[in-house]
Chains A and B, each alone.
Chain A
Amino acid sequence: MSAPVPEQAQVAPTGNRATPTRRRSAHARRARLVRALLVALALAYVLVLVLLPLAGITYYALKSGLGTIGETFSQPDVLHAFYLTAVIMVVAVVVTGTFGIIVALVLARDRFPGKLLVSALVDLPLAVSPVIVGLMAVLLFGRGGWFEPFFAAQGIQIIFALPSMILVTIFISIPFVIREVAPVLEELGMEEEQAAWTLGASKLQTFFRVTLPNIRWGLLYGMALSSARAIGEVGAVLVVSGLLQGRTETATLYVFRAFEQYQDDQGYIVALTLAAFSILLLIGIETFKRKSLKAAN
């Protein structure tokens, strides 16, 4: 780490009246001013875009008073909405985590023709609008959909019910674990695993004793990102859920309906709860990211 040039100039002996030094310290003062201005501009942008709106929502949610807050959280619709969000998040994170590791192993260590295509498929959910993801589920399972006759015959409701909400959330969360775990695997190489095999460990033992501990921070980082995405998803879930109040309504959809029905207080309270939870999640995200980067180096 080399100290920035202007700071070195500042340390130059003062009291010496020679012109070059004075010019250099003037230069240093200007450089410091410019840096302070840059920081101020960056802070102002984040303040206007993120922090002040966060303060705004906090103000409106708390303004309604403890009574309203208690009332909101005793509503069965609200409780069910949070429950539904939790179920969807857990299933999506477990599925994308498990299969994410498999895809990451294949991407990092296997060679086969068409690997680029597989890698492109992994990125694809990042490009698709959530609304289009919902539409895909409608086209597959909705009226006239490819699989509608099959599931209708089994008496299983997919669209306007929990299964389709879980499916679209999985689709949207697919890239996160893979994107975080594959580079870690590439960076690690296979020496440790090969050593374990040589010593007679089975493949499963090697995976749980060697590979998994090595990728754990990257995996947790990816899972935290998936959770955030799963909790926050609204477009895809809105399209497939049918918006059945108290039945297919997640926490974000509850916020959506609350404002449509002019129940702003309840809307702000649930929205702030979601925001608070995502800030907790963010702390996890930042911690896992730092550890993952450290482990990779």
Chain B
Amino acid sequence: MAGTAAQTLQRGPLSRRAGSRPGALGRWSLRGGAFLYLGLFVLLPVAAILERGFGNGLTNLTEALTSFGAWNAIRLTMTMALLTAIINGAFGTLLAYVLVRIRFPGRELLSAVVDLPFAIPSLVAGVMLVALYGPSSVVGGWFEDHGLQIIFAPPGILLALLFVTLPLVVRSVQPVLAELDREEEEAAHTLGAGGWTTFRKVVFPALRPAIAAGALLAFSRSLGEFGAVVFVAGNIPNETLTAPVFITQLINPSNYGGTGGPDQAAAVSALLFGFAFALVLVTEKLVSRPSEGHSA
């Protein structure tokens, strides 16, 4: 804080209050810019959803939830999101372990491939999955002959969600694993614990918050995913119609011969979105705790 004192001296006592940090004017213009930006772009649209959805009580919500295929869309979305979180929780942890702890040729390449879903448009991800696992391809045809339809069926939805959320658990676990003190593991090893026991008793407990955070993010991302899913799901009401696709149909009911409208869509959106937002906030808590521990 030596700079602060020097600055105050230089400018004299009159500007003491404004002198030390960026002046009050600068601070308030920054704040003003930030608040205006977030207020207009984030808060206002959310307010619109709430007002239009619940402006006349719960009527819109009940109408939305009783329309054709609503409950099954929500159930399917929840199930798929849960499976995605579990599967990518496990494989994401494995990938993070392999990337951090094992040296092998092509490690950098594998790390880049894990990030690929961040870069690839989700709709293109859907097209990729159809190209490989669709009924007209060799692989998809083989599975179909053996009684398993992948594309235009729930397994396709699951694959799309796994693709889109692949980086989340890996990137959440990786830094924690890299920071982890290896002495404890070596101690466990010396005491005769096998690799699996060491992982289960020493490594896994330390990674648990990071795995949970990544899996929760994957879950909430899966609840809302549209681009990849709409392409592979087939969108058959009560069978492969997910909640986000259901909402698009609710916005323009005339296109799909259903009932509803933007207000009904707003009500059911508010519900889903409140749930997903709560999950993201919980995740932030999980992530911020260990990092605070490190900086302390």
Contact = CB atoms under 8 A, between A and B. Distances in A.
A220 interface: no
B59 interface: no
Interface stretch (A10-18, A71-79, A124-132): A124-132
Interface residues of A, number: 96
B214 to A, nearest CB: 13
Contact of A239 (B4, B125, B132, B251): B251
B46 A124 contact: yes
Secondary structure at chain A's binding surface: helix, strand, loop or mixed?
helix
B123 A255 contact: yes
A150 interface: no
A209 interface: no
B22 A46 contact: no
Contacts, number: 277
B124 A232 contact: yes
A82 interface: no
Given A131-B226, A135-B262, A146 B195 contact: no
A117 to B, nearest CB: 10
A274 to B, nearest CB: 5
Nearest to A283: B112
Interface in B256-279: 262, 265-266, 269, 272-273, 276-277, 279
Interface in A171-223: 171, 174, 190-191, 194-195, 197-198, 203
26 contacts: A34-B195, A38-B94, A39-B98, A42-B94, A46-B113, A46-B166, A57-B128, A60-B131, A106-B31, A110-B27, A120-B281, A126-B280, A129-B226, A130-B244, A131-B248, A139-B52, A174-B41, A174-B42, A194-B3, A233-B121, A234-B226, A235-B227, A239-B251, A279-B120, A285-B115, A285-B118
Closest 8 pairs (CB-CB, A-B): A129-B224, A232-B121, A235-B226, A56-B131, A56-B132, A136-B45, A53-B128, A194-B3
Given A110-B27, A128-B273, 10 more contacts: A4-B101, A43-B110, A52-B132, A53-B132, A56-B137, A60-B131, A129-B243, A129-B244, A139-B45, A203-B22
